[in-house]
């Protein structure tokens, strides 16, 4: 049996928050990220790469608005925007992964898959939208858009304006996960579940598959995919080398290892906020509790090093 590692790139790993997001900037960061995980291949792992899309899909939504306002180009719904980001980012990772393989003199195929993720239409998240997407608006603009489109807006905590919010339901199933499993077991590098996947649901009466406006957490979707394909390791790449408690305080402490019980305890104590480390911790807990051997949270720079990051096990 081959060893399989799922590596989840954050959207900000490919596009930095202080950059305008030119293709040159994104391609450079993508190549750097791909080159860093070549070491996993040398250690005998077959790879599945997942990725975020927060900055990129935000730009797509801005283009949506600009195209409609200036040229009356019909707006595309959120599921199409997520699919657009999966295709664009998937292609970018595909090409730069091939470049990294060529530089390392490793021969492997790479393939990107547009991935739909099944959600439960009765998920309580749909009654309480919390995930901000798209541009910031003045309150007056937000009120008009909310009335015209039946959208929900919430004020940004840092008072930068009002943003549309959508539901963030729990992923139930990853469509075509068996295809991903078959490909990776044959030695191909697979890019899947971009941006948490495109949220879809099944009508109970007709089994008709339909998209729904929502954003699935990328790390939870990646953990589910890792479980479904029986991955041995699940990596979450973020902007810190390890998980910390008392983060950004004088007594902050880096953690080399966490058991699931310890991770759950720290989470309940509020050590891992919802807007930063919280979803990553929940994703690793989900993976390990449901059969995964170990999950690792670390930075792109540290992934090549032995015993890097924070390891989460039973």
- Confirm whether 289 is a catalytic residue: no
* Alpha carbon distance 8, 297 (integer Å): 10
Please, what is the Cα angle at 184 between 183 and 189, to 5 degrees? 100
Neighbours of 118 (CB within 10 A): 18
- Confirm whether 249 is a catalytic residue: no
CA nearest to 183, candidates 90, 111, 94, 98 = 111
CA nearest to 305, candidates 261, 222, 241 = 241
- Confirm whether 12 is a catalytic residue: yes
- Confirm whether 186 is a catalytic residue: no
* Alpha carbon distance 21, 25 (integer Å): 6
Q: What is the DSSP letter of 167?
A: B
3-state secondary structure of 31: helix
Out of 11, 54, 90, 197, the active site residue is: 11
Out of 164, 181, 218, 242, the active site residue is: 218
Out of 12, 99, 278, 293, the active site residue is: 12
- Confirm whether 11 is a catalytic residue: yes
Out of 10, 54, 64, 131, the active site residue is: 131
* Alpha carbon distance 44, 10 (integer Å): 24
Contacts 24+ apart (CB under 8 A), 283-287: 283/217, 283/219, 283/220, 283/222, 283/223, 283/234, 283/236, 284/223, 284/234, 284/236, 284/312, 285/260, 285/312, 286/220, 286/223, 286/224, 286/227, 287/223, 287/226, 287/227, 287/231, 287/234
Out of 36, 181, 242, 280, the active site residue is: 280
For 179, the enclosing helix (H) or strand (E) is helix 177-185
Residues recognised as catalytic: 11-12, 131, 218, 280
């Amino acid at each position: 049996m081959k060893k399989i590692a799922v590596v989840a790139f954050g959207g900000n790993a490919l596009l930095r928050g202080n950059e305008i997001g030119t293709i040159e900037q994104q391609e450079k960061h993508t190549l750097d990220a791909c080159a860093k995980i070549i070491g996993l291949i040398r250690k005998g792992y077959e790879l599945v790469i997942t990725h975020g899309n927060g900055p990129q899909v935000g730009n797509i939504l801005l283009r949506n608005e600009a195209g409609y306002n200036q040229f009356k180009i019909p707006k595309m719904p959120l599921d199409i925007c997520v699919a657009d980001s999966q295709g664009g980012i998937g292609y970018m990772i595909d090409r730069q992964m091939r470049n990294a393989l060529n530089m390392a003199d490793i021969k492997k195929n790479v393939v990107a898959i547009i991935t739909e993720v099944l959600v439960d239409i009765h998920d309580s998240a749909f009654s309480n939208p919390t995930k901000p997407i798209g541009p910031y608006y003045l309150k007056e603009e937000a009120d008009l858009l909310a009335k015209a489109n039946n959208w929900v807006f919430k004020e940004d905590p840092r008072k930068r304006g009002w943003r549309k919010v959508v539901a963030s339901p729990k992923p139930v199933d990853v469509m075509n996960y068996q295809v991903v499993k078959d490909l990776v077991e044959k030695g191909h590098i697979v890019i899947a579940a971009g941006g948490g996947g495109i949220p879809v649901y099944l009508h109970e009466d007709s089994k008709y598959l339909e998209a729904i406006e929502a954003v699935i957490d990328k790390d939870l979707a990646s953990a589910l995919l890792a479980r479904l394909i029986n991955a041995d390791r699940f990596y979450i790449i973020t902007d810190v080398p390890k998980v910390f408690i008392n983060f950004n305080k004088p007594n902050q402490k880096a953690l080399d290892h966490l058991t699931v019980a310890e991770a759950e305890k720290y989470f309940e104590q509020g050590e891992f906020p919802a807007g930063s480390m919280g979803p990553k911790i929940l994703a690793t807990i989900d993976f390990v509790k449901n059969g995964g051997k170990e999950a690792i949270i670390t930075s792109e720079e540290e992934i090549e090093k032995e015993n890097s990051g924070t390891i989460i096990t039973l």
